Amino acid sequence: MPVSIRKRLGIREGSRIVFLEDEEGVRVLTEEALHRMFAVFDRVRKETGLTRKQLRARVKEARHRLWKDHYAGRR
């Protein structure tokens, strides 16, 4: 992994990283960033009373809408 990307992501020797693959590609996150992200989603889920399945569906819908708004017209 290039040094510039490691610096931007805060990856150092011994850092644990996670590769997430979805229909849009592969994302690289530090394990710490992944835990922080889950904590945010869990807090939102509890505050809104949504089930994990409902929250997952809303996140997927929002991600698709953002992708479509940002990239759909590009070639």
Residue ranges of domains in the chain: 3-71
- Name which of 33, 57, 52 is nearest 41 in CA terms: 52
Rounded CA separation 75/64 (Å):
18
pLDDT grade for 25, boundaries at 50, 70 and 90: confident
For position 4, what pLDDT does the model report?
93
Rounded CA separation 70/62 (Å):
12
Residue pLDDT, tens place only, 29-57: 888 888 888 898 888 888 999 888 898 89
